[in-house]
Amino acid sequence: MGVRLLVAVAGLSLAAGCAVDDQATPSGALGDDAITVGSFDFAESVLLAELYSQALEARGIRVVRAFGLGPREFVGPALAAGLVEVVPEYAGTAIGFASAGKEVAGVDPASSHRTLDRALDGSHVLALATAPAQNTNAFVVTTETARVHDLRRLPHRLHRTPSA
């Protein structure tokens, strides 16, 4: 199963898919009229954060970009404190991080979302509805490399999941 894209929000609630009430622009957790969108320090995270930023701006919402902040160990506390208000995230990874490895993603988006909600319970972070996107990790080699190294499937040790 691929990993689903999720958006986590601290301090306020936006409707799924970056939709907002046209009547009022929400006040940010920092006391300004902007939404601070953050990302982790890898290219795909920055790209997703930029997509969400542009979607918010298209709705007339002022956005402050805080991209490339670092690993989840840095971004998580910033999100919980309201210094960053929106972070595009992957449900499976978010579950593992929020539960300290005690929970794993479900077999479908709905069960993964319920698991993430449980993992975030008691925090100031809210998981919004999943976006209609999916990410799957894949390992690709040429036919020649597969033949030379007799590659047919990934070794079991690469399929680790956090123990319950």
In a domain, 63, yes or no: yes
Judged against a pLDDT cut of 80, whether residue 118 lies above it is answered with yes
Residue 132's CATH number: 3.40.190.10
The residue range of the domain holding 141 is: 3-159
Q: What would the mean pLDDT of 137-160 be, rounded to a whole number?
A: 77
In a domain, 164, yes or no: no
Quote the pLDDT of residue 34.
94
Q: What is the C-alpha to C-alpha distance for residues 44 and 37, in angstroms, rounded to an integer?
A: 14
Number of neighbouring beta carbons within 10 Å of residue 76: 20
Q: What would the mean pLDDT of 20-36 be, rounded to a whole number?
A: 63
Q: What would the mean pLDDT of 64-74 be, rounded to a whole number?
A: 96
Residue 142 buriedness (CB in 10 A; 0-12 / 13-18 / 19+): exposed
User: CB of 65 within 8 A of CB of 87?
Assistant: no
In a domain, 146, yes or no: yes
Q: What would the mean pLDDT of 18-37 be, rounded to a whole number?
A: 62
In a domain, 109, yes or no: yes
CA distances from residue 162 to 5, 93, 108 in whole angstroms, order as listed: 20, 11, 18
Give the residue from 92, 56, 65, 87 showing the smallest Cα distance to 74. 87
Quote the pLDDT of residue 43.
94
Q: What is the C-alpha to C-alpha distance for residues 53 and 48, in angstroms, rounded to an integer?
A: 9
In a 13 Å sphere around the CA of 51, the CA atoms on its Cβ side amount to 13
pLDDT band at 17 (very low <50, low <70, confident <90, very high): very low
What is the model's pTM? 0.68
Q: What is the pLDDT of residues 43-56, one digit of tens each?
A: 999 999 999 999 99
Total domain count for the chain? Answer: 1
